């Protein structure tokens, strides 16, 4: 397949399955997504939201119920997986246990009838790229989980695919290795100028690795944007909650001017940012991240008093549960607090997001 393509396009891709009652349910509905060459796109969402379905539709492992997939001007959703030639990396590595590392990596090349000398050179290059040169003759069982996942990556990239698809490739690794492998996968992506579609349910992973994130829920894309966009300006409460806006509380609208909104609840007035709130809306849900609170300085607007109820020590900062007039809140602050301490909290208006939805 052409690896100098410009764009891989999912054009309204959907996949439905019949249910026991005879109805059908959409595992994936109407996904529109353009992936540029060299781009790293993460599909992010909770378990069961359709991430693997989307990836398998791209790979050709699952038939589409609707839509088309294009690589530039070539329609590819009608091609079998081997003719698409995408590299795949799965959560469980899927290595052949009885084959050496180099034979595992070279498997795709042998299947394609690549001449032996050429194949040997490319296997050595792929192993060098994932930093496993010294392990070529070992069996997968003699390697750590992280090393096995590197073998799986080498096996996927050795065929020089135009696009590499990864389905939760790090979820079987321990926390420290996961963080190291994030950087490693980004490095390989950059070195080979790959297009990568990366499935994960881990926000931090998506935020730290991807150029763009597709936030999914119940089979549909909720928001497609850069990490900064989906983190800073979630398009709805579902995305906001998923991005760590743990405090979602009802407020009454007292003024609304484009994206500037003033809200109030139990005598507390806050300036906030209206997230596409229609004129005339009277009730909103306000979403605030624990990390966006700070101790109020004298004269701060957007401030109110609260009482510490519980505290979870976290090193440099602590997660507090506080009681306040607007309700119970999760707040992350530096310093040491005791239950019963009074604090005055401040949150900036651009971190106080109002949605025309029910809290």
| DSSP labels, 154-212 | HHHHTT--SEEEEESTTTTS-HHHHHHHHHHHHHHHHHTT-EEEEEES-HHHHHHH-SE
Kindly tell me which of 242 and 293 has the beta carbon lying closer to ligand ADP: 242
* Interaction mask 53-92, ligand ADP, x per CB under 6 A: x---------------------------------------
Please list, in sequence order, all residues whose beta carbon lies within 8 angstroms of the beta carbon of residue 116, skipping any fewer than 6 positions away. Answer: none
Cα gap 249→288, rounded to integer Å? 9
Which region among 46-54, 68-76, 94-102, 171-179 touches ligand ADP (by CB under 6 A)? 46-54
87 neighbors 163 (Cβ within 8 angstroms): yes
Answer positive or negative: Cα dihedral of 348, 353, 358, 359: negative
52 contributes a contact to Mg ion by CB under 5 A: yes
96 contributes a contact to ligand ADP by CB under 6 A: no
Kindly tell me which of 93 and 251 has the beta carbon lying closer to ligand ADP: 93
- The least distance separating ligand ADP from the CB of residue 18, rounded to whole angstroms, comes to 8
Phi, psi of 202 (to 5 degrees): -105, 110
Cα gap 352→286, rounded to integer Å? 7
Q: Which two tokens stand for residue 200?
A: 């994960």
Tell me the number of residues near ligand ADP by CB under 6 A: 10
48 contributes a contact to ligand ADP by CB under 6 A: yes
List 212's β-bridge partners, or say none: 41
47 contributes a contact to ligand ADP by CB under 6 A: yes
Q: Which two tokens stand for residue 78?
A: 């009608």
Kindly tell me which of 27 and 143 has the beta carbon lying closer to ligand ADP: 27
> Which option in Mg ion, ligand ADP, none does residue 195 bind, with CB closer than 5 to 8 A by kind?
none
Cα gap 82→72, rounded to integer Å? 18
222 contributes a contact to ligand ADP by CB under 6 A: no
> Which option in Mg ion, ligand ADP, none does residue 285 bind, with CB closer than 5 to 8 A by kind?
none
Kindly tell me which of 2 and 92 has the beta carbon lying closer to ligand ADP: 92
Kindly tell me which of 52 and 352 has the beta carbon lying closer to Mg ion: 52
DSSP H or E run through 102 = helix 101-111
> Which option in ligand ADP, Mg ion, none does residue 53 bind, with CB closer than 5 to 8 A by kind?
ligand ADP
Kindly tell me which of 45 and 161 has the beta carbon lying closer to ligand ADP: 45
Q: Which residues of 189-205 are buried (b: 16+ CB within 10 A; e: fewer)?
A: beebebbbbbbbbbbeb
Among the listed residues 51, 150, 189, 332, the single contact to ligand ADP using CB under 6 A: 51
Closest CA to 76 of 15, 17, 14, 2: 2
Q: What is the DSSP letter of 296?
A: P
Cα gap 320→208, rounded to integer Å? 26
Q: Locate tokens 């609840």: which residue?
A: 265
Residues 250-269 that bind ligand ADP (CB under 6 A): none
Rg of the chain over Cα atoms, rounded to whole angstroms, equals 24
> Which option in ligand ADP, Mg ion, none does residue 289 bind, with CB closer than 5 to 8 A by kind?
none
> Which option in Mg ion, ligand ADP, none does residue 49 bind, with CB closer than 5 to 8 A by kind?
ligand ADP
- The least distance separating ligand ADP from the CB of residue 129, rounded to whole angstroms, comes to 28
50 contributes a contact to ligand ADP by CB under 6 A: yes
33 neighbors 14 (Cβ within 8 angstroms): no
* Interaction mask 17-36, ligand ADP, x per CB under 6 A: x---------x---------
> Which option in Mg ion, ligand ADP, none does residue 96 bind, with CB closer than 5 to 8 A by kind?
none
- The least distance separating ligand ADP from the CB of residue 69, rounded to whole angstroms, comes to 16
Binding site for ligand ADP (CB under 6 A): 17, 27, 45, 47-53
Binding site for Mg ion (CB under 5 A): 52
């Amino acid at each position: 397949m052409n690896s100098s393509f410009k764009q891989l396009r999912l054009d309204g891709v959907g996949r439905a399955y019949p249910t026991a009652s005879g109805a059908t349910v959409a595992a994936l509905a109407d996904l529109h997504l353009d992936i540029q060459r060299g781009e790293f796109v993460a599909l992010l969402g909770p378990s069961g939201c359709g991430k693997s379905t989307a990836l398998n539709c791209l790979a050709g492992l699952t038939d589409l119920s609707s839509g088309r997939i294009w690589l530039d001007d070539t329609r590819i959703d009608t091609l079998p997986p081997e003719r698409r030639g995408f590299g795949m990396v799965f959560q469980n590595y899927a290595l052949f246990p009885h084959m050496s590392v180099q034979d595992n990596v070279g498997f795709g090349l042998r299947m394609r009838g690549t001449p032996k000398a050429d194949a040997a050179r490319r296997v050595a290059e792929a192993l060098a790229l994932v930093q496993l040169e010294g392990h070529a003759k070992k069996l997968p069982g003699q390697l750590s989980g992280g090393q096995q996942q590197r073998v799986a990556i080498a096996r996927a990239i050795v065929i020089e695919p135009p696009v590499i698809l990864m389905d939760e490739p790090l979820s079987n690794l321990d926390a420290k290795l996961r963080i190291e492998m994030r950087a490693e996968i980004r490095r390989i992506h950059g070195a080979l100028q790959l297009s990568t579609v990366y499935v994960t349910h881990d926000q931090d992973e998506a935020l730290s690795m991807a150029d763009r994130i597709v936030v999914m829920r119940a089979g549909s894309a909720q928001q497609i944007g850069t990490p900064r966009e989906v983190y800073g300006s979630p398009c709805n409460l579902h995305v906001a909650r998923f991005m760590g806006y743990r405090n979602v509380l009802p407020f009454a609208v007292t003024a609304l001017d484009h994206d500037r909104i003033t809200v109030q609840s139990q005598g507390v007035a806050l300036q906030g940012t209206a997230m596409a709130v229609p004129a005339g809306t009277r009730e909103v849900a306000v979403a605030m991240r624990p990390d966006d609170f700070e101790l109020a300085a004298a004269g701060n607007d957007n401030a109110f008093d609260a009482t510490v109820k519980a505290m979870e020590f976290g090193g440099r900062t602590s997660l507090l549960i506080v009681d306040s007039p607007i309700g119970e809140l999760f707040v992350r602050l530096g310093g040491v607090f005791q239950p019963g301490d009074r604090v005055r909290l401040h949150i900036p208006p651009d971190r106080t997001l109002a949605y025309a939805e029910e809290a």
